[in-house]
């Protein structure tokens, strides 16, 4: 049984430090040493602290057991874990650890092997990823968090200062702080385990629709409010290597993006991805719906045509371009109020022009027009649940397109039909898009019936509708849309087909001399 000397040693404060992210750890160790703590560490952390002149007790000196299995086993020992888990207000616990010669551990500062950083590296092997799955670290921080009343556990370097300040002021870390830090542990390990599970699932090629779905995201920013001022909100990024998404954009100018800004900008990116980089294209979006889309010989012409498509709705909207913004285009965009401009890059002259406008947000995203990876998940939160589906990365299958009318579309009509099809795919259902010469002339989004959507698109288009083509995101249940198209001067239609009353629409198209294509693929967007 330990004698008086051991019981005195019992009273010495002990801190275990073992971190992958060494930000601030040396300074933290120096402060703890000055406060009378014995520093226990191992590996690279121990070397960094020793090199800074701090006395370090090795884990092996405590356990009496050497590190083994290439460092896989270091801290997995009762003299470590009993020191963490012993409840100070439990006499039986304290009696046991005294008998066993275990010293209580009061502070645990650990962050885990860099699994996320490892799997995000190009060319990483499964063996490398597996080797960066931490075992001892999660075990210690979970143990410390379970015994939070007695142990301050730190997984975030940002919390070092709080702990030191409280120790200096009060001689101990407050229970409120310990409880908060314990909560951060389980957030940390939950994210860590979710990343591992997701990585291994993808390595196996398993279905993403598992019986249990755990997701992990990282906060990008808190927001002033959500959709409305009375709603709190934050923006989180999905962990991964995607470089064509809004969270990867670099903001060059303007105030912080709002909830609605992000939602609408995402809608603009959805549309521009359909075009890639093949031809200059400009996309104007309002309330997540396209309101003006056009191609051009250059990006200046593309923007002018997108603006002319609907000069009313573009005001206060978002514009995405698949070419660098040059001075001429910037001059035109500066003439109206735009919330956001997203582009692969901005010329020096364009930035000089646009940054004179205080309220415009400029986002640089070099790969904005790169298509989304097939199999990417699309999620929608509903009350009490989560809807998960594969992202709609398809457009149409050329071999499935069939002309169902007597008249075939001309080559020019076919080009415009495919253009309109790209737009209507990203228009809220029920959706109609009218186009002519690779320019939208009228868009009818989000109506409760299809004829109203068409009537709205025709109203927006005015005189430009004559000679245009029409795309519908879903089939026509009645012939009324075809009849309205004839009256407006629309010459060709593209739609999925599949209604039990398709023949009514086909007959109406034949009588009107309208060419009609069926794609066999619908694009609902609710």
Which residues belong to the active site? 146, 287
Within 10 A of 285 (CB to CB), how many other CB atoms are there?
30
Q: Are strands 361-364 and 340-343 parallel, antiparallel or unpaired?
A: parallel
Angle between helix 175-204 and 136-146 (nearest 10)? 150
DSSP 385: E
Give residue for tokens 């027009």.
369
In sequence order, what are the beta bridge partners of 403?
A: 517
Nearest to 320 by CA among 339, 337, 335, 334: 339
Within 10 A of 92 (CB to CB), how many other CB atoms are there?
9
- DSSP states along 213-278: ----EEEEEEES-SSSTTS-EEEEEESS---SSGGGPEEEESSPPPHHHHHHHHHHHHHHHTTTTS
Contact 365, 344 (CB under 8 A): yes
d(CA 362, CA 222): 19
Nearest to 30 by CA among 50, 7, 12, 10: 50
Helical ranges in 171-219 per DSSP H: 175-204
Please, which residues have CB within 8 angstroms of residue 138's CB and are 6 or more apart in sequence? Answer: 112, 189, 192, 193
């Amino acid at each position: 049984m330990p004698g008086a000397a051991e019981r005195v040693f019992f009273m010495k404060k002990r801190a275990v430090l073992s971190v992958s992210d060494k930000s601030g750890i040396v300074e933290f160790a120096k402060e703890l040493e000055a406060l009378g703590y014995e520093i226990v560490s191992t590996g690279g952390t121990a070397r960094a602290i020793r090199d800074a002149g701090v006395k370090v007790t090795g884990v092996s000196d405590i356990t009496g057991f050497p590190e083994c299995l290439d460092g896989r086993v270091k801290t997995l020992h009762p003299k470590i874990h009993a020191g963490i888990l012993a409840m100070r207000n439990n006499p039986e616990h304290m009696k046991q650890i005294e008998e066993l010669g275990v010293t209580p551990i009061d502070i645990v500062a650990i962050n885990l092997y860099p699994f996320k950083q490892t799997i995000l590296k190009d060319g990483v092997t499964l063996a490398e990823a597996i080797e960066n799955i931490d075992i001892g670290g999660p075990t210690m921080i979970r143990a410390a968090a379970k015994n939070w009343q007695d142990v301050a556990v730190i997984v975030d370097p940002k919390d070092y200062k709080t702990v030191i300040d409280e120790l200096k002021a009060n001689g101990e870390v407050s229970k409120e702080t310990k409880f908060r830090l314990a909560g951060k542990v389980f957030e940390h390990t939950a994210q860590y385990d979710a990343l591992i599970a997701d990585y291994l699932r993808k390595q196996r090629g398993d279905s993403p629709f598992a019986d249990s779905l755990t997701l992990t995201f990282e906060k990008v920013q808190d927001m002033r409010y959500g959709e409305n001022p009375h709603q709190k909100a934050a923006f989180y990024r999905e962990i991964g290597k995607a470089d064509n998404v809004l969270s990867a954009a670099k903001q060059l100018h303007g105030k912080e993006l709002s909830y609605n800004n992000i939602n609408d900008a995402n809608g603009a990116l959805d549309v521009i991805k359909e075009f890639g980089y093949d031809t200059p294209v400009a996309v104007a979006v309002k309330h997540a719906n396209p309101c003006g889309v056009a191609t051009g010989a250059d990006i200046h012409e593309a923007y002018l045509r997108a603006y002319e498509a609907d000069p009313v709705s573009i005001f206060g909207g978002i514009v995405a371009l698949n070419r660098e913004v040059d001075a001429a285009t910037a001059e035109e965009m500066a003439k109206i109020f735009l919330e956001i401009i997203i582009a692969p890059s901005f010329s020096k002259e364009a930035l000089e022009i646009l940054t004179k406008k205080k309220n415009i947000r400029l986002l640089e995203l070099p790969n904005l027009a790169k298509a989304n990876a097939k199999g990417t998940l699309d999620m929608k939160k509903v009350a009490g649940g989560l809807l998960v589906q594969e992202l709609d990365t398809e457009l149409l299958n050329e071999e499935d397109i069939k002309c169902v009318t007597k008249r075939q579309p001309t080559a020019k009509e076919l080009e415009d039909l495919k253009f309109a099809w790209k737009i209507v795919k990203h228009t809220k259902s029920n959706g109609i898009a009218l186009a002519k010469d690779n320019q939208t002339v009228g868009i009818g989004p989000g109506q409760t019936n299809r004829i109203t959507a068409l009537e709205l698109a025709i109203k927006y288009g005015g005189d430009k509708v004559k000679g245009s083509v029409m795309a519908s995101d879903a089939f026509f249940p009645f012939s009324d849309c075809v009849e309205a198209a004839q009256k407006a001067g629309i010459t060709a239609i593209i739609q999925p087909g599949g209604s039990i009353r398709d023949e009514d629409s086909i007959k109406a198209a034949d009588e009107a001399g309208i060419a009609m294509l069926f794609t066999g693929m619908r694009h609902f967007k609710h």
